[in-house]
């Protein structure tokens, strides 16, 4: 069953707009919770890089993107992790906005 059909089915099951809104709110809260857990993991992993190299991740990322740090495999991993964290932060921001938090 494709996504559009699943959404139609939810609308049929929860025919009252308030019911559907409440159900969708619960799903969005679950997504927010999962994203927050991911953010914690990313922050922990980034903290390990920061301690190892004595540099905060934002400063590292700026220098790495400018080509000032070289091509160590750790730097590519750190950079990718930093980008993932920025992406998940944006998703959290969007979810919080939709949920009115």
Sign of CA dihedral 56, 58, 62, 67: positive
pLDDT-derived band at 8 (thresholds 50, 70, 90) equals: confident
Q: How far apart are CA 60 and CA 63, in angstroms?
A: 5
pTM assigned to the model: 0.83
What does the block give as tokens for 49? Answer: 């890089």
* pLDDT, position 50: 98
Q: How far apart are CA 77 and CA 68, in angstroms?
A: 16
pLDDT digits (tens, 9 = 90+) for 29-40: 999 999 999 999
pLDDT-derived band at 83 (thresholds 50, 70, 90) equals: very high
Residues near 24 by beta carbon (within 8 Å), at least 6 away in sequence: 10
pLDDT digits (tens, 9 = 90+) for 13-72: 888 889 888 988 999 999 999 999 999 999 999 999 999 999 999 999 999 999 999 899
């Amino acid at each position: 069953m494709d996504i559009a059909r699943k959404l139609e089915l939810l609308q049929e099951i929860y025919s009252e707009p308030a019911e559907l809104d409440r159900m969708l709110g619960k799903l969005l809260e679950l997504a927010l919770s999962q994203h927050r857990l991911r953010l914690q993991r990313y922050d922990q992993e980034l903290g390990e890089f920061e301690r190892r190299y004595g540099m905060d991740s934002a400063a590292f990322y700026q220098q790495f993107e400018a080509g000032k740090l070289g091509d160590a495999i750790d730097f590519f991993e750190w950079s990718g992790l930093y980008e993932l964290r920025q992406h998940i932060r944006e998703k959290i921001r969007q979810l919080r906005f939709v949920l009115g938090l």
